[in-house]
A = this chain, B = another copy of it.
Amino acid sequence: MSTPHAILIALLEKPSSGYDLARRFDRAIGYFWQATHQQIYRELGRMVAAGWVAVVEEGATDAAATRKKVYRVLPMGREEVERWVRETQLGVDDRNVFLLKLRADAVIGPLGLGEELPRLIDDARERLETYRAIEQRDFGAPALTRGQQLQYAILKAGIHTQESWLEWAEELRPLLNGGDA
C-alpha cells in the first residue's frame, strides 16, 4: 500500500525516468521492495495529477533524449512523504515498510523515527515472549514426533526472526536518537 511512497523516496534520492525506476527496483531497491514497470508508470501518472511529481523540462539536452521523461519530486510530494513517515503507524509485520521509512529519513533529515522504533521493539519483545511461552508449553517434552519437531521448527523460525530483528534494532537505536532528533 505504500508503492507511491516507495517511488517518491526513490525519486528524492535521484530523479529518474519510469524506465530507470524500474531498473532500480529490479536491483538494489528490489531486495526488499518490489514494483513492476506497469505499477511505476501508473503511479507516476497519478502523482503527476496529484501535483507530487513533475517531468523535468530541460531544453532538449540532446535531441536524442526526446522520449525519455525524467521525473522529480515537487514540494507537495516531499511533504506527503514526511506526512506518511510521521503518521503511518506500523506493526511488527511491516518491517520492510520501516526500512522504507529509514530510507526516507536518510534522504530528507530526521523524521522522528526515534520515537517509532521503541514501540516496534516493544512489540517484537512481546511477540518473542509469546513464542517462548508456546515453546515451553508445547515443546518441553523430551521426545517429539517428526510432526511435532517440524512444528517446533516453524516456531523457532519465528523466534529467530524476532531475536535477529531485535539485535538489529538495538544497534540502530542510538543512530536515530543521537545527533539532533
Contacts and interface: CB of A to CB of B under 8 A. Distances in A.
A26 to B, nearest CB: 13
Nearest to A146: B179
Copies of this chain present in the complex amount to 2
Contacts of A160: 164-165, 167-168
Interface stretch (A53-61, A62-70, A97-105): A97-105
Interface of A is mostly: helix
Interface in A36-92: none
A149 B177 CA distance: 13
B151 A106 contact: yes
A126 interface: no
A151 B172 CA distance: 11
Interface string A151-173: 10110111011011101100110
B31 A127 contact: yes
Given A32-B154, A32-B158, A99-B154, 10 more contacts: A32-B157, A102-B150, A102-B153, A103-B150, A107-B147, A110-B146, A153-B168, A153-B175, A160-B165, A160-B167
